[in-house]
Amino acid sequence: QVQLVESGGGLVQTGGSLRLSCAVSGGTASSFTMAWFRQRPGAEREFVAALRRYNSNPYYADSVKGRFTVSKDNAKNTVYLQMNGLKPEDTAVYYCAAGNGILSTLRLVTGYNYWGQGTQVTVSS
């Protein structure tokens, strides 16, 4: 019933910016811990950022802290990932996810029940 649809990916030069959106339907974004993960070919899916359920405390991977910002608009039931200062190593498929908000699993793929289909982000050097 819950569906997540990502958008906003594309091709950008090093140092550029993109804003990804995750539209939530069939549920309320504020009732979940909402997260962004990314995956490159041949690599495991890795945690990027999250907003924790209830208090919306933000969490970031060390590799993106200071460059990326996760936020949400409750009126639009949409979660965002603002990406600034993009680097070639940020190139990946980015996925939106919704989970139960258990702190011990917040950074783990197994901590999330719902996933979007992904949006490609490519950063040229």
Query: 48-63: per-residue pLDDT in tens?
Result: 999 999 889 999 999 9
Helix (H/G/I), strand (E/B), else coil: 102: coil
Question: Quick one: pLDDT at residue 21?
Answer: 98
Exposure b/e, 7-32, CB count within 10 A at least 16 = b: ebbeebeeeeebebbbbbeeeebeeb
Q: How far is CA 55 from the centre of its chain?
A: 17
Nearest CA to 47 among 88, 117, 106, 89? 106
pLDDT value, residue 92: 98
Task: Classify 80 as helix, strand or coil.
Answer: strand
pLDDT beneath 70: ranges in the chain: none
Within 13 Å and on the Cβ side, how many CA atoms surround 23? 7
pLDDT of residue 20: 98
Which pLDDT does position 2 carry in this prediction?
Answer: 96
Q: 66: exposed, middle or buried (C-beta count within 10 Å: 0-12, 13-18, 19+)? A: exposed
The reported pLDDT for the residue numbered 101 is 84
- pLDDT at residue number 76: 97
Looking at residue 8, its pLDDT comes to 98
